[in-house]
Amino acid sequence: MLIRLGIGFTVALVILVLAAVWSYRDVAIWPQVGEKVVALTFDDGPNPPHTQALLRELESAQVSATFFMKGANAEAFPELVRAVAAAGHEVGNHSFYHRPMLALGSAAYVEELQRTNRALESALGYLPHLFRPPYGLQGIGLTNALKKLELRSIAMGVHGSDWSEKDAGLITDAILADIKPGAIVLLHDGHADVADPDAQDSRAATVAATRALIVALRADGYRFLTVSELLALEQQ
């Protein structure tokens, strides 16, 4: 009996591992490139006034970035969605409510993605082609839904824990310690777990860290690309 249970557990574990590997097979995590380039990405916005402050920093430095937006926030602040795109930045889908999508059924996956797509298309006039899974969690159901909607899943290679860390210097130092060519850098201009788009608090530390990162990385010879531009350089 114990042997049968052990075999059953082992088989189940192998299936789970294989399913996880399959689910992440097309997820962009750290593109292999031959140049000193990185992509700055910002999740969970729009979040006034901090998204606007971030846009000013990026414009001043002449840096393009990629913003993965919560659908609920995009619905609430369509003018800010347009401002991000008008400034030359890339906009991606980050689900509607930022729920851990592994816990959802297949219909809920599609609804989360489509509702966010509708909000972004309404503001921009076109559909996004990039998606970032909430909390980085992706399973078979989400992978199939993304394929159906022609969305490429984007993870991250480097972060500074700015969802909880409020010291801009510590955020900056953590990212610089791990940076390498091709890095997709995770930062936040909004808050994942705040249901009310008007109730988000400050992302001032992220704005300050972004300024410091651009200065430090540029001094080290790095260029800044959108995620799509970075993926286009990926070595096969």
Q: What is the mean pLDDT of each run of 10 residues along the chain (236 residues)?
A: 54 42 79 96 97 98 98 98 98 94 77 96 98 90 89 96 96 98 98 92 96 98 98 83
Q: 3-class SS at 154?
A: strand
DSSP letter assigned to residue 102: G
Q: Looking at residue 103, what is its pLDDT?
A: 66
Q: Looking at residue 144, what is its pLDDT?
A: 87
Here the CATH number for the domain that contains residue 111 is: 3.20.20.370
In total, how many domains does the chain have?
Answer: 1
Q: Looking at residue 16, what is its pLDDT?
A: 39
- Contact at 8 Å (CB) between 38 and 231? no
Stretch (H or E) spanning 223: strand 223-225
Q: Which domain holds residue 121?
A: 2-232
Known catalytic membership, residue 26: no
* The residue count for the chain: 236
- Contact at 8 Å (CB) between 76 and 112? no
Point out the catalytic residue in the list 43, 44, 162, 189.
43
Alpha helices (runs of H) in the chain, residue ranges in sequence order: 2-23, 50-61, 71-76, 78-86, 106-124, 140-149, 168-178, 204-219, 227-232
Known catalytic membership, residue 43: yes
Q: Looking at residue 22, what is its pLDDT?
A: 54
CA-to-CA dists, residue 143 to 45, 55, 162, angstroms: 23, 31, 27
Point out the catalytic residue in the list 94, 98, 188, 191.
188
As a whole number of Å, the CA-based R_g of the chain is 18
Q: Looking at residue 18, what is its pLDDT?
A: 42
The maximal CA–CA distance of the chain, rounded, in angstroms, is: 68
Q: 3-class SS at 146?
A: helix
pTM of the prediction?
Answer: 0.91
3-class SS letters over 22-78: HHCCCCECCCCCCCCEEEEEEECCCCCCHHHHHHHHHHHHCCCCEEEECHHHHHHCH
Q: Looking at residue 96, what is its pLDDT?
A: 95
